[in-house]
Amino acid sequence: MRECTKRAQVLATLVIIVLWTPLEWGCSTSDDNSDDDTAGDDDSGDDDTGDDDLSDDDGDWIQISAGRGISCGVLTGGAGICWGSSEVGASEPTAGVLFTEIVAGQYHSCGLTDTGIVTCWGIDDGSALDHGQVTEVPSGQFVDIDVDWYEHATCAVRVDGAIVCWGTLEGEFMQGDFQQVSVHVHQICGLHTDGTVECTGSNAAGQLDVPGGEFEKVVAGDFHSCGLRDDGSVECWGC
């Protein structure tokens, strides 16, 4: 096994550990790391809300996502909540809709509604950071979405299994019977309905050398990607 593949598997393990970290863990707004829940509450002008917006009264969570400085989640019943630092509205979910999934980004976030429609929110001001992430959302119904906060792009799987992207990536990149998509920087990876994985993009570090067999989920990285097998094992490729 190449050393870079070993490092990739270690990183994947760390990602799994982070995902299982309790929601109570977050950035402290106080200087003394005090356990006092009131510490930092007077910083009303600070855009970084940390986990102050979370409450035990919010209910049960069915899905969560972390972007750059922003986290989002969906509650039982479909309500979407985001929290964190955002000066461009990326932490303000579209009002009046119910979600099955929300993916947090940096300057934009997107959600999949209970009717299969994709809705996005965040920067929409014609600036250099505005790549149509919000205004160019394709019409139609979808089954999965993913946001690349680094490159300000979004990809989604249509009900017919095709993968379509917009923002800094634009167009239908892979045709077929996909059920899940993951996008990050140089890579777009999709999970077929038969469990096989297909990737497109740069192959400078072997990112397209996808191992055979069936997976349950795929996550695209910069120079490597990882997949979750149905037996609970993780396999990575690239460097």
* pLDDT digits 0-9 by tens, 160-171: 999 999 999 888
Q: Is the per-residue pLDDT at 100 higher than 60?
A: yes
Question: What is the model's pTM?
Answer: 0.77
**Tokens, residue 34:** 């005090």
Separation between Cα atoms, residue 199 and residue 219, nearest integer Å: 10
* pLDDT digits 0-9 by tens, 28-49: 333 444 444 433 344 434 444 4
Q: Which residues contact 212 (CB under 8 A, 6 or more apart)?
A: 196
What is the residue whose two structure tokens read 């993916």?
103
**How far is C-alpha 98 from the chain's CA centre?**
18
pLDDT score for 222 = 87
* pLDDT digits 0-9 by tens, 6-21: 444 444 444 443 344 3
CA distances 15 to 20, 60, 219, Å, are 9, 23, 10
Q: Alpha-carbon dihedral of residues 93, 95, 96, 100, nearest 10 degrees? A: 0
CA distances 211 to 3, 40, 180, 197, Å, are 17, 48, 17, 8
